Amino acid sequence: MKREQQIRTEDCALIAEPGQQLFTRARSVVSRTAGGKTLIVPVRGKAGELASIYSFSGTGSLIWQLLEAPRALPELISAVERECKVRPDEAQRDVTQFVDEMFSVGLVEVCSSVAMTATESNVEMETAGLH
């Protein structure tokens, strides 16, 4: 478990701006998109928890697709503004609410990283011999 967190933290640290939280899909769920709808099933042990299937489409599916890689909230908001052609205040309210709800039910996780600038990450990679 610590190794997974360490890998996840390193991935996030290379992407984040200082002070930003990054969100990504939880590792304990599986998802499929079919017919314009995204279905998400939490997995406990080796079985799907069928009593807790989540389904969304449209903007929700867009956000879920973006969360395949760690993303900061401003990036998600910009994508929703652009793709759904909504006002910035609408996008901010809707995306924030949606991500909060997905976080509260365990569909997304916050990357626990301290962000680094590109220069800092290059120095660390060179120090580790990972040019």
pLDDT given at position 121: 42
pLDDT given at position 35: 85
pLDDT in tens, the chain (131 residues): 333 333 344 445 445 566 789 999 998 899 998 888 999 988 875 555 566 889 999 999 999 999 999 999 999 999 999 999 999 999 999 999 999 999 999 999 998 653 443 334 444 444 444 44
pLDDT given at position 122: 42
Surface-to-core class of residue 108, CB atoms within 10 Å of its CB (0-12 exposed, 13-18 middle, 19+ buried): buried
User: DSSP class of residue 18?
Assistant: T
pLDDT given at position 24: 95
Whole-model pTM over 0.75: no
Strands annotated E in the chain: 22-25, 29-34, 37-44, 47-48, 54-57, 71-72, 108-111
